[in-house]
Structure 1
Amino acid sequence: MGLFGDIVGQVFRAIWAHKLRSFLTMFGIAWGVASLLLLIGMGEGFRSGQQRQLKSLGENIIMMWGGTLLSNQGNLRPYKLTLEDEAEIRTQAPDVANVTGFLQRGDLKQQSQFQSAGGTVMGIEANYPTVRALPLGKGRYLNEADMKERRMVAVIGKKSETLLFPNGGNGLNEFITINGYRFQVVGVAQWIGRGNRDGDNQRVYIPLSVMQNIFPMKGENIPQDALTSIQYQPFDPSRNTEAKTEVRRIVAENHNFDPTDEESIEEWDTIKSQQTVGKIFTAMDVFLGGVGIVTLALGAVGIVNIMLVTVSERTREIGLLKALGATRSSILGQIMMEGLVLTGVSGFVGITGAAIFMGVLGLMMGDSQIGFDPPRIVPWSAALAMGTLTLCGVLACLYPAHKASMLEPVEALRKD
């Protein structure tokens, strides 16, 4: 312990003797470490934020909407997805695990005995929560009996409860009206999303059978069983392309268009989106990691210079140590230890600075960011920084340490 303390003292004496050069070298190393951790931490914040947003929709979902077709006469012909499409997808698409359809409208007014509110009203099926994320805060989900018997029941979002039942009121088992039709609230969803993103929390969910009966989709030549969207999950996320091909074939046959015509189908594959986001940020991590390693390697050049100066100034001391019996390996180890202490202190300062900055940035961001989580120290990046720093420190000290260990005691003692 005493030897280590002496070495640390010698290191800091050498640093103090060449303050500017030592400061610039240590600053370069600390800056490289901090930049590496900060950039990767911010990239991971974007990655986790995007993944969280996708997961707030549900796991491995492919969404499909109705589209517009070009007829042989050159006219545009819109089509809507239907319950028939959904039923055939369920029975004729072997790669599809779960499928659900819903009908939504944003022009329906909700009213309680206390207050009125606007928001999206969605007619959903009983299996909707198995496909889409709809965490329940209290009460129950809509069930098959609600669908079959066309019960006038509803599950409302958390913000809808706050608006319709102000002053901390509990909306569970209370009644609301939607465009004059009376519904009993049987469930209240948990808050979905973060910060001010509250559109999903101002939804009202009612049985799809009721929605299609009393609030059907508006427009001409629209089937009674028309849906706003059909959304499904493949058994295996890696077979999302096969699942989409099967679903497109079914919908194309029902609506008379070419399933290979991309313009005729509007869809969003969240699996593909997540894979793309992952590839982008992985490439960013590799690039930023490479930049950080190069920065640290350049910092090693400064360590070489400092250690060469140290060896030069301590030539007589090294000669005296060797004259008193110090071996080449002990001299080599001492110089190497000095270089590692130097790089270690710089690395510690860089990691600590990055952690403090990211912590302050996270506090400033709070919980109001959309698509971006606060940056944080990523364990593998910290391990990469310390591993690279240690390697650079060792390599940077090899030549100065070897030079010191090869000094002859007599020649060293003659050195002025």
Structure 2
Amino acid sequence: MSILSLFTDLFRNLNQQRLRSFLTIFGIMWGTATLILLLAFGVGFRDQTVLNMRGMGDQLAIMFPGQTTKAFEGYGIGRPIRFREADAWMLKQQISEIDVVLPEYSSYLQISYGEKRRNSSVGGVYPGYQDVRNMYEKQGGRWLNDHDIREQRRVIFLGNRLAQNLFENEDPVGKSVMMQDTPFTVIGVLHEKIQNSSYSQQDQDRAFIPATTFSTMMGTDIINNIIYTPKDPAMAENIRDQVYEVMGRKHRFDPSDTDAVGIWDTNEFWAFIDIMFLGINGFLGLIGFFTLAVGGIGVANIMFVVVQERMKEIGIRRSVGAKRHHIMGQFFLETFLIIGLGAGAGYAIGWLLVQATQNIPIKEFVGAPYFSPEVGLIAFAVLGFVGFAAGLLPAWRAARLDIVECLRR
């Protein structure tokens, strides 16, 4: 039987039972659209969560000073640990797997411009802090540089919301603000970014000055925390163990005393994200699969009816030499053609639904659905499985029919 004849017979059969055919194709269409929409929401949620987390930095670990909870080498418990700038440079020197290490000063200070005043977390940092923390400036400004560090310049970089609160509609760059009765020149404003976590204050409300300027103003080299990134995220756990070893030797505490130095390693979060969204997307895909399977049952049902209605045709074809695999191939192909009609419409409707939900009110938290290539491929694979399962039994039954019984119909 030619392909043209197969298509002609298929559409003739569909036309003869319009309602039945419509409901069958509709089941596949709706199941496909549902599967695509659910998977697209899962991908969008994953991407938005990653984007939110990247607001604080990529593969970042933040060290906080704590106090000892274990006696060690004659020292008792409850002894506070204090970080100094030299500790950061020591970690970089002694742990080769660390890529970047940066000390960070921090204190809540009042910043004023004219009559406007704001209490803000002010960080004393080095230029490399920009890339580690994804701190990028708006056009017309700049970030801290090496000259600011060497010359201990009184320059300040403002978070975007802090700048808005102080300057409203004025351009802050080049203007002076007062901090600790000292004028600071604004050199840049933070480009707005999404950030759902922080370890002191949201970056949009913070200010940053050169670390050397901060140390001189406050008269101390005691820092609030140390930031580091690994060369290879897979080595994060090993690096953390080495950090405790190195800091334990320096500050005389038991390396197993994790309360002496707190470490928030965001690499653990990235590993958790992969597992969590594999489970979420798997669950959403399973719901979509079962929805599509209902449509597949409808296709299998209509193909069983078609087999009953076409028994005489099957008997004639077998009697003139058609093999069983020819009969199976014909009904498999018809099954996939029906599913293809529904799937094509389902892909179109799914894509339209994805586009229609791009501006949902909670987009900042759950993201917008995204029709990625992986969504299309997964949907295609599921459709292929459903089509095979829906066509197998009807095709098998058609191929195993007795020729004589078919010709008696």
TM-score tier, shorter chain, comes to 0.7 to 0.9
> In the alignment, what sits opposite 1:36?
35
Name the CA shift for 1:126/1:380 in 2 (closer, same or farther; >3 Å).
closer
Name the CA shift for 1:316/1:38 in 2 (closer, same or farther; >3 Å).
same
Name the CA shift for 1:148/1:27 in 2 (closer, same or farther; >3 Å).
same
Preserved contact between residue 61 and residue 228 of structure 2 (Cα < 8 Å) = yes
* Whole-Å separation in 1 of the counterparts to 2:16 and 2:180: 81
* Whole-Å separation in 2 of the counterparts to 1:140 and 1:348: 51
Q: Deviations over 1:100-125 (max 9, x none)?
A: 1111223x222224743343211112
Preserved contact between residue 96 and residue 234 of structure 1 (Cα < 8 Å) = yes
* Whole-Å separation in 1 of the counterparts to 2:107 and 2:13: 72
Task: Give the counterpart letter for 1:104 in structure 2.
Answer: S
* Whole-Å separation in 1 of the counterparts to 2:104 and 2:195: 24
Task: Give the counterpart letter for 2:43 in structure 1.
Answer: E
> In the alignment, what sits opposite 2:379?
385
> In the alignment, what sits opposite 1:53?
52
Quote the offset at 1:15 in angstroms. 4.7
Task: Give the counterpart letter for 1:300 in structure 2.
Answer: G
Task: Give the counterpart letter for 2:137 in structure 1.
Answer: L
Task: Give the counterpart letter for 1:141 in structure 2.
Answer: W
* Whole-Å separation in 2 of the counterparts to 1:126 and 1:388: 50
Preserved contact between residue 161 and residue 204 of structure 2 (Cα < 8 Å) = yes
Gap runs ≥5 in structure 2: none
> In the alignment, what sits opposite 2:333?
337
- Counterpart check, 1:67 vs 2:63: no
> In the alignment, what sits opposite 1:95?
97
The equivalent position to 1:248 in structure 2, one of 244, 251, 257, is: 244
> In the alignment, what sits opposite 1:312?
308
* Whole-Å separation in 2 of the counterparts to 1:409 and 1:246: 78
Quote the offset at 1:326 in angstroms. 9.3
* Whole-Å separation in 2 of the counterparts to 1:77 and 1:353: 64
Which structure 2 residues correspond to residues 177-326 of structure 1 after superposition, within 5 A?
177-193=178-194, 199-215=202-218, 224-289=220-285, 292-293=288-289, 296-297=292-293, 299-316=295-312
**For the aligned residues, what is the CA RMSD?**
3.4
Q: Deviations over 1:131-181 (max 9, x none)?
A: 2211122333222332232211112222233222222x2211111112321
Name the CA shift for 1:123/1:9 in 2 (closer, same or farther; >3 Å).
same
Preserved contact between residue 62 and residue 267 of structure 1 (Cα < 8 Å) = yes
Preserved contact between residue 55 and residue 195 of structure 2 (Cα < 8 Å) = no
Query: What is the aligned length?
Result: 400
Name the CA shift for 1:71/1:290 in 2 (closer, same or farther; >3 Å).
closer
Quote the offset at 1:32 in angstroms. 4.1
3-state SS of paired residue (1:363): coil
Name the CA shift for 1:158/1:7 in 2 (closer, same or farther; >3 Å).
farther
- Counterpart check, 1:109 vs 2:80: no
- Counterpart check, 1:400 vs 2:394: yes
Quote the offset at 1:292 in angstroms. 4.8
Preserved contact between residue 14 and residue 310 of structure 1 (Cα < 8 Å) = no
Task: Give the counterpart letter for 2:358 in structure 1.
Answer: G
3-state SS of paired residue (2:226): strand
* Whole-Å separation in 1 of the counterparts to 2:228 and 2:236: 10
Quote the offset at 1:207 in angstroms. 1.1
TM-score, structure 1 normalization: 0.83
* Identity within the alignment, %: 26
* Whole-Å separation in 2 of the counterparts to 1:320 and 1:91: 85
Quote the offset at 1:43 in angstroms. 2.7
* Whole-Å separation in 2 of the counterparts to 1:103 and 1:414: 93
Quote the offset at 1:402 in angstroms. 5.0
Name the CA shift for 1:406/1:161 in 2 (closer, same or farther; >3 Å).
same
Q: 145-154 or 115-124, which moves further after superposition?
A: 115-124
* Whole-Å separation in 2 of the counterparts to 1:183 and 1:94: 37
Task: Give the counterpart letter for 1:229 in structure 2.
Answer: N
